[in-house]
Structures are given as structure tokens and as C-alpha cells.
Homo-oligomer: A and B are copies of this chain.
């Protein structure tokens, strides 16, 4: 009997938006794994671990994954190969391991890299979480999509023309991974005549939560902020 690997969705930031299931797994599991971002050689705090903090009790073995925040996947691959082997050795010794994930593990989450490497040899249970998309909509009380409508989630890292091609006229969209790409997003939406319909949301569900018309948003926004362009029929 090997241990179980859990992929735990912990939601958008507010520790009370953790599910009862994820909190129960965290209570019992002896080993937790989480990403710590490395920027310019400095390792930062893990966002997922900070969400988990009030739900962690007792002594646990912690395995931080230091990932450089670069757009080169080569280095990431080597790191995930190495961490997978470390996790596998715990699973082989019948210990359960939980990977802490902000938001939902399988929606733009890095848990998928560990899942891909370990799912054939071990039991993997993914616990879904509240996404940053749902948290942003809730913060703004903004219906995302209704009835026969469509919504597209796209990263702002795409080119101007790719973003334009993926926005359907009159349909809703959520644009993620803003950071320095926000100026490009403003330009595309302005070109399409939809800038005035777009809302910018930063740190949804957290203390620093901000909601602004996109046209008033700063041009170097946090990576985890989001733009919502919606048109739900609520009458």
C-alpha cells in the first residue's frame, strides 16, 4: 500500500474560502508540498502555504518547491522531476502527501506537473478549490455568464492578435496573468470599443482587495489580478 498524493485547491486567498474537505486533509496529512517563487535569486513566501496556515496543526514535514518565475519551462521541468522523486519516496513509505495549491489545482495550476509525473504509479486525489475567477466576480458582485452565453478565460501573456481572436463579440471573458501585460489588454479592449465594460480586480477575497474600472487600473498590476469583461443577462 503506497501513500496517497492529494492536490489540494485552497481557493483564492481568504483562508475561510478553503473547503471543509481540504481542511480535513491538511489536518491529517504528515507531509505538505508547496511552491515558493524565486525572483532575482530571492525566494519569496508561498501564497498557497499562507492560505493554508490557519488550517495546519501539529508537526509536518514541509517540502517547498523553489521555482524561478521565468517563462522558460526547461528549468521548471528539472525541478518537478526532482521533487516528484522526493514525493514518490514518501508515498513508497506509505505516507500521504498533500500539494497545497492556490485557487483550483487544475485551472492554470502548477499541480498538473506533479500529477503528470506521479499519476500512473500512485493514487492521486485532486480536491477542487474556489477559483480566482469566482472570487473576483464575487468581490464585484458581477454575474459572469448566464443562460446561453459563453465565457472564455485567457492569459494576458498572449499576443494582441491572439487576445483579440479569442474575445467573442458580446460574450464574457476573464483575462488572467496580467502583470506588465495589462497595458496590452487595455489597448486591445479600447480598440474593440469594450474598455468601458471591463472591470479590474486585485487581491479578490483578501485584505488588499481593489475593484476599479480597467481604464483606471495601474499599468504594472500584480500577476494575480484579473480583468472581467461581462455581459450576463440578469433581468
Contact = CB atoms under 8 A, between A and B. Distances in A.
Nearest to A25: B16
Contacts of A144: 106-108
Contact of A130 (B9, B116, B166): B9
Nearest to A127: B138
Given A107-B144, A143-B112, A234-B115, A19 B150 contact: no
A151 B149 contact: no
Interface stretch (A30-38, A154-162, A184-192, A209-217): A154-162
Contact of A134 (B115, B129, B155): B129
A158 B148 CA distance: 6
Given A128-B135, A130-B19, A154 B150 contact: yes
B153 A150 contact: yes
B124 A128 contact: no
A77 interface: yes
Contacts of A137: 104, 106-107, 126, 128
Interface in A67-115: 73, 77, 104-109, 112-113, 115
A66 B109 CA distance: 38
B138 A106 contact: yes
A24 B17 CA distance: 11
A116 B108 CA distance: 31
A141 B128 contact: no
9 contacts: A11-B19, A107-B137, A128-B134, A147-B155, A147-B157, A150-B158, A150-B166, A151-B153, A166-B171
